[in-house]
A and B are shown apart, each in its own frame.
Chain A
Amino acid sequence: MTERNRLTIAILALGGQGGGVLADWLTALGEAGGYFAQATSVPGVAQRTGSTVYYLELFPLADKQPVLALMPAPGDVDVVVAAELMEAGRAMLRGFVTGDRTTLIASTHRIYAIAEKSAVSGGLADGSKVLEAAHRSAKAFIGFDMDAAAQRTGSAISAVMLGAIAASGALPFGREAYEDTIRRSGIAVEANLKGFAAGFEGRDEAPPPAPALDVDGIIAEGMRRLNEYQDAEYAALYVERLKPFEGKLRREVARGLALWMAYEDVMRVAQQKIRARRMDEVRAQVNAGPGQILHIVEYMHPRWQELCDTLPAKLGARLERGGALKRIFAPMFERGRHVRTNSVTWFLVLRLLASRRRARRGTWRYAQENARIERWLALVREAAQSDYECAIELAKCQNLIKGYGETQARGLRKFVDVTQSWQMLRSRPDAARLLRSLRETALRDEDGTATAEAMRKLA
């Protein structure tokens, strides 16, 4: 093969991530460093949130103009830069990353694709597969959370990526040359130099994720939560209810029971919204400066049903069914409310609602949830005697009940469907497997049709 003098660089980024800015910097860097620089891309509709490839070739300046390619050829790419983990995966899928040549520089953070985000449950792609592939396929792999570094330094991810490229040594330019490129571009120079430096250092600074709780940890967390939710007596009831369960089943029941007993009602939501530490969380989430004045507007929609839920059981049940009062007052509960939590009036209202939790045990909602919990526990206990694995599956069914309003009602129907199917399946040897597949179908099912279909097939 004739001598290969070119340097080839592919950048994979999402629309709006600054892949074009990075390509411009590298072009300017190459031109200032005595190279003929060619860069191109196929932005088009992908500029609107899709994924795009930018491609550059650098060739030492000579009298003649070289013939450079306009797209990466598999096996011929020196540097691949991916602005997100799955884009690194895409680069590998397309054959751009090869062990003999390619330095792969990727941000390991995730920007979830719409299919991942909109799944009712689960649906996340497995990032570890991509990381493993990156280590295996690339000549050198530099991967860290460049998005976090950008946020930490108040710069753009493109600046961090440029820093990582400089540090990789894959291109024949010194750090100064890169920094001069940023300076010459004249846009947000200070911030981008900081981002560049963070990229040059190139490491993750986030603490490792907390390990999963063991059964004792779950129970401790459940008790803490229910104590706050109601009182010590309620937490004691939780522990009492857990007594008949052992082993793996105990763990599943402990988790589901804590969540179910701390079901979300008006009092709970009010309690959560006015907690002192919540204001700090909000401040952190919106990057507000210290002492900066904030207003918080909640989107709430207490419905007639929620009102009935908080009333004493008999009254609540009667009003929910109908009657003159419902006809007159229910329309007042059909629209959403904008609640300004940090105004004195609304704070008082929420505080009053939160304090109603002392009367919770007498409410209509409590009566219903308590009965459902008891039925569920009885079912799991019964199953445990004949088929332990089935019992675990039934315990896990608590996770089907989610959300509020119509979502919660649909979840409840799915829960009832799946748990009741056990009576039909219990005589079968593979009952646990069938139950699991049914539960998993129901988890991913938005409107209940897939669950009904799966049930019909089993019957």
Chain B
Amino acid sequence: MAERSFKAEVEQLRLSAGQEFRGEGILAVTKALLQAGVAYVGGYQGAPISHLMDVFADAADLLKELGVHFETSASEAAAAAMCAASVNYPLRGAVAWKSVVGTNVASDALSNVASGGVTGGVMVIVGEDYGEGSSIMQERTHAFAMKSQMWLLDPRPNLPSIVGMVEKGFELSEASHTPVMLELRVRACHVHGRFIAKDNVPPRFTVQHAANDPVRDTERIVLPPANFLHEREKIESRWPAAVRFVQDNKLNEHFGPKDGEIGIIVQGGLFNTLNRALELMDLSDVYGNAKLPVYVLNVTYPLIPDEVRDFCAGKRAVLIVEEGQPEFIEHELNTILRRADLQTRIVGKEILPRAGEYTAQVLGDGLAKFLGTEKQAAVPVSASAPRPPSAPVLTALDVPQRPAGFCTGCPERPLFTALKLVQRELGQHHVSADIGCHLFSILPPFNIGNTTMGYGLGTAGASAFRRQDGKRPIAVMGDGGFWHNGLTSGIGNAVFNRDDSLTIVVDNGYSAATGGQDLLSSDAANDNRSTRHAIETAVRGIGVTWVKAIDDTYDVLRMRDTLRQALTSKDRGPKVIVAQSECMLNKQRRTRPLFAKAVKDGRRAIRERFGVDAETCTGDHACIRLSGCPSLTIKPNPDPLKSDPVAHVDNSCVGCGLCGEVSHAEVLCPSFYKVQIVFNPNWWDRATAAVRARVIGWLR
């Protein structure tokens, strides 16, 4: 079960024609898929498309009614491979993931499906995690579209445009026998808006039909000689078909006047930001009525040479607003104009930043430069970039940075506390990190981890250090990464190559960083998925003999001792510690209502939380440097003789116990205490409390 329940959103998936859908962009896509008659959907969760996976997982009943197959794929590669269903059969399918990382993982299968081509429409929904809020390397999915030749849709970021593009995208895919990619930036995925729904369409041809009546065509299989045929097909038939379809259906749009000396070409996804920048310069209005011609590429690959020629002809200069690098579109525009022998100047990265997100400010600055250089432009205003009128009164130094960190009570925190303690004894080790919440270890206060090479690749990232006789490298991997590919590419690789490394697998019961989805080793029972497959069993099965499962990560001393043992043991071969405690965010979500109900029903319940005696605390904050828990903070020193702030546990404490364990392990000051608050005490509680109160009162 995911972090959030989508019951209300699932109801919106049932809307019929004429009713209004209100909600998030990525959820509008789920509705659009059902309206388009998809036969199967898969994908791998990750911001910003997690909600698409979550809402489908919660919509099992509806999908069954419609006959749509939905799968929580093991990885993006698995999801992409599922698209094989559309190669021979008229099945529409959609898969979704976080990009560019997910596309990296999927690209083997994507290349294959793009080479053979498809019969039923295939749509890959990529959440382009670029710019503010991104957690990954800043690259463009555009490159994948070009190299495998899949059409890239980049609709204007409003719900009707996005939903319309899903519908048209499937038609385009089928018309050109080519998979398409629907690119949605982070803000577009999360944008709340509205659109008028259509009826859901059950797939005319279902995956059952296909399985029961298989069809085979060796020309669709990537093996000589068909592979050479595919390449020619792409150029000779699929590409022209796509260009025709885009042109005939007017998927790209025009805003503003038809003619002008200068104009702007923009990626659809950036249109709203561009329009706002123009509006602030009095060059457009809230309906996009720009005062200069704007050509919006809702399809950014392929470009439509006729449309480009028509737009550029007669213009002195055209600004191309293209986010990220390399500037593929700008290159292609120049090629088209050269071939057409047009003298229009294409202005792009020479005035707009080569790297980084195109915010309204960035585009405003760029527009001002563009209009400034093109002075004679027939634009009826003095162009100036929107500027905050007053000079900044604060500097960056005045406002502390706030890096992401482990949640309150996170079970991964004590693991890194133990690792910090053991490294104090044994010296620093090379630590190969992975993708997941545990990567926050690289930030203060732990500052642990040297590299991260991709999802499930923590152990493989340490593999070069295998034959040294010196210190053992340490790899960290989450349960998500472990099942994604870490079992084979990490653990299996280490076994086969006789590594001597230590891998810590963080087994918190969920794919936690992506929103708490279930996975193979989850402890929860799931009606639609098979869970409770122990990581330890898998690790032993693949050939590791030194495996320790620790079922309570908060036991810092045991964790520290086990780590020490793994790092100093005379045994050769890979060592694996499975660190098991439930993700606290999800545990709280699970147990809080149960606790509240127990208290309400009059049943005995105990809540634990921690506190600090301000008087005993010396204000040295060693405890914080070994924890970083949001609930363990500081407050002004109540002692009038002392000035350093004291440690303080705020009300968000969930009583995980780490504070106490740390103070024991490090012999910190005796200021930490745990309080057990008894709700609905029974007679024994009351009797002992009364006796204690009397005796202690008397002793005082």
Contacts and interface: CB of A to CB of B under 8 A. Distances in A.
A406 B667 CA distance: 7
A299 B644 contact: no
A259 B134 CA distance: 49
Contacts of A411: 620
A124 to B, nearest CB: 7
Nearest to A98: B388
A73 B386 contact: yes
Contacts of B437: 48
Interface stretch (A107-115, A160-168, A364-372): A107-115
B585 to A, nearest CB: 8
Contact of B699 (A31, A348, A405): A348
A73 B277 CA distance: 8
A347 B696 CA distance: 7
Contact of B276 (A43, A65, A69, A222): A69
B593 interface: no
Interface in A110-129: 111-122, 124-126, 129
B565 interface: no
A419 interface: no
A71 B634 contact: no
Contacts of B405: 48-50, 114
A254 to B, nearest CB: 9
A403 B669 contact: yes
A217 B277 CA distance: 60
A46 B133 contact: yes
A44 interface: yes
Contacts of B279: 2
A115 B399 CA distance: 11
A104 B660 CA distance: 41
A310 interface: no
Q: Which of B160, B402, B407 has the most CB of A within 10 A?
A: B402
B8 to A, nearest CB: 11
Given A45-B404, A272-B615, A293-B678, A120 B621 contact: yes
Nearest to B47: A44
Contact of A41 (B187, B288, B390, B406): B187
Interface stretch (B371-379, B470-478, B495-503, B625-633): B625-633
Given A99-B390, A299-B660, A65 B641 contact: no
B674 A67 contact: no
A335 B187 CA distance: 52
Contact of A278 (B440, B443, B613): B613
A48 B440 contact: yes
A356 interface: no
Contacts of A221: 640-641
Contact of B47 (A43, A49, A292): A43
Contacts of A121: 619-620, 644
Interface in B233-273: 271-273
Contacts of B388: 74-75, 95, 98
Interface string A9-47: 000001110000000000100010000111111111110
A37 B676 contact: no
Given A255-B641, A405-B668, A299 B663 contact: yes
B401 A113 contact: yes
B552 to A, nearest CB: 16
Contacts of B673: 282, 296-299, 341
Given A117-B634, A129-B394, A296-B673, A42 B622 contact: no
Contact of B678 (A15, A112, A294, A298): A294
Contact of B404 (A39, A48, A351): A48
Contacts of B621: 117-120
A288 B679 CA distance: 10
A133 B696 CA distance: 54
Contacts of B160: 65
B387 A282 contact: no
B677 interface: yes
Contacts of B47: 43-45
B399 A93 contact: yes
Given A40-B192, A278-B613, A286-B677, A117 B398 contact: no
B689 A293 contact: yes
Q: Which of A65, A136, A281 has the most CB of B within 10 A?
A: A65
Contacts, number: 345
B67 interface: no
B531 interface: no
A182 B445 CA distance: 39
B305 interface: no
B681 interface: yes
A70 B387 contact: no
A378 interface: no
Contacts of A389: none
Interface stretch (A84-92, A232-240, A314-322, A433-441): A84-92
Contacts of B450: none
B109 interface: no
A336 B592 CA distance: 31
B204 interface: no
B202 interface: no
Interface string A187-209: 00000000000000000000001
Interface in B641-666: 641-645, 649, 651, 659-660, 663-666
A117 B677 contact: no
A294 B675 contact: yes
A180 interface: no
Contacts of B129: 44
B191 interface: yes
B133 A44 contact: yes
Contacts of A99: 389-390
A124 B390 CA distance: 27
B615 A42 contact: no
Nearest to A50: B404
Interface of A: 1-2, 5-6, 14-16, 27, 31, 36-46, 48-53, 59, 64-76, 86, 89-90, 92-93, 95, 98-100, 111-122, 124-126, 129-130, 132-133, 136-137, 151, 209-210, 212-213, 217-218, 221-222, 225, 255, 258-259, 264, 269, 272-274, 276, 278, 281-282, 285-288, 292-301, 303, 335-336, 338, 341-344, 347-348, 351, 399, 402-407, 411, 446
- Chain A to chain B: the 4 pairs with minimum beta-carbon distance, closest first: A42-B133, A336-B664, A73-B360, A405-B667
16 contacts: A16-B408, A45-B404, A51-B402, A67-B156, A74-B388, A118-B624, A118-B628, A124-B645, A126-B398, A130-B398, A133-B393, A209-B636, A259-B642, A286-B675, A303-B667, A344-B691
Given A221-B641, A407-B620, A446-B625, 10 more contacts: A46-B404, A49-B630, A74-B388, A117-B634, A269-B670, A295-B675, A335-B664, A405-B667, A407-B622, A407-B668
